[in-house]
A and B are shown apart, each in its own frame.
Chain A
Amino acid sequence: DQQVKQNSPSLSVQEGRISILNCDYTNSMFDYFLWYKKYPAEGPTFLISISSIKDKNEDGRFTVFLNKSAKHLSLHIVPSQPGDSAVYFCAAIAYNNNDMRFGAGTRLTVKP
């Protein structure tokens, strides 16, 4: 039962351009969403988050957008840099427990 879905396994963009990673969820009890970034042979590291009371959160080159009615969120990276090449995981927490559920991940490749 995949409650958090990342339907694009991979994305390739040119350096300097915008990267847009998408995530959909099915559980209406999710009220907090996070993005994690993972390099090979390392564990995921926290990148940015958003509460369901907001529709946008920005941190430097990273912006997360939340559309609650569509149960959809996206991560925008602009401008993209080669060092951003990694696997990005979308995660969600429900308001009534502590489960953090992750999607399958999207592998981003930023070409110089």
Chain B
Amino acid sequence: DARVTQTPRHKVTEMGQEVTMRCQPILGHNTVFWYRQTMMQGLELLAYFRNRAPLDDSGMPKDRFSAEMPDATLATLKIQPSEPRDSAVYFCASGLVRGTGASSYNSPLHFGNGTRLTVT
């Protein structure tokens, strides 16, 4: 049963430190999404990639957040410097998407189990 793998599961760090979260999408999936779960906003879209190229990162605070896909098996989300307000659960999701709109999704998105980040 193919899964999206996220590491670490938990991260506690001090304000000002760099945080790197990693995601291994399902093999064969061409689109990777990063979401952040907060109490107020629910699942907030931060950025997504298609075939390793960034398509939209408008949901991400650009001054401190960066997302990359060094290769097809790894997506990273970095926060530098981290702040207490960044504390949340960060989810990665992958899917096979071609084109736009509803018909573009060959299957629903598969989510990882998330990285719970606490910044003190």
Q: Interface size on B (CB < 8 Å)?
A: 29
Closest B residue by C-beta to A89: B43
Query: What is the CA–CA distance of A101 and B31 in the complex, to the nearest angstrom?
Result: 15
| A41: interface (CB < 8 Å) | yes
Number of A-B contacts (CB under 8 A): 75
Q: Which of A14-47 contact B (CB under 8 A)?
A: 31-32, 34, 36, 41-46
**B45 engages A101 (CB within 8 Å):** yes
| B101: interface (CB < 8 Å) | yes
**B114 engages A102 (CB within 8 Å):** no
The CB with the most chain A CB atoms within 10 A, among B31, B35, B55, B111, is that of B111
Query: What is the CA–CA distance of A27 and B114 in the complex, to the nearest angstrom?
Result: 28
**B40 engages A104 (CB within 8 Å):** yes
Please choose the segment from A57-65, A66-74, A75-83, A92-100 that sits at the chain B interface, where 4 or more of its residues have CB less than 8 A away: A92-100
| B113: interface (CB < 8 Å) | yes
**B111 engages A43 (CB within 8 Å):** yes
| A109: interface (CB < 8 Å) | no
**B43 engages A98 (CB within 8 Å):** no
B42 touches which of A45, A96, A102 (Cβ 8 Å):
A102
Chain A residues lying within 8 Å of B22, measured Cβ to Cβ, are none
**A99 engages B45 (CB within 8 Å):** yes
- Given the known interface contacts A100-B33, A104-B40, the answer about A43 and B91 at a Cβ–Cβ threshold of 8 Å is yes
Query: What 8 additional pairs, Cβ within 8 angstroms, besides A42-B114, A43-B111, A96-B100?
Result: A41-B113, A43-B112, A43-B114, A89-B43, A98-B50, A100-B33, A100-B45, A103-B42
**Which chain A residues have a beta carbon within 8 Å of chain B's beta carbons?**
2, 6, 31-32, 34, 36, 41-46, 49, 51-52, 89, 91, 93-105
Closest 3 pairs between A and B when the two form their complex, measured CB to CB: A32-B102, A43-B111, A104-B42
**Which chain B residues have a beta carbon within 8 Å of chain A's beta carbons?**
4, 31, 33, 35, 40-45, 48, 50, 55-56, 91, 93, 97, 100-102, 104-105, 108-114
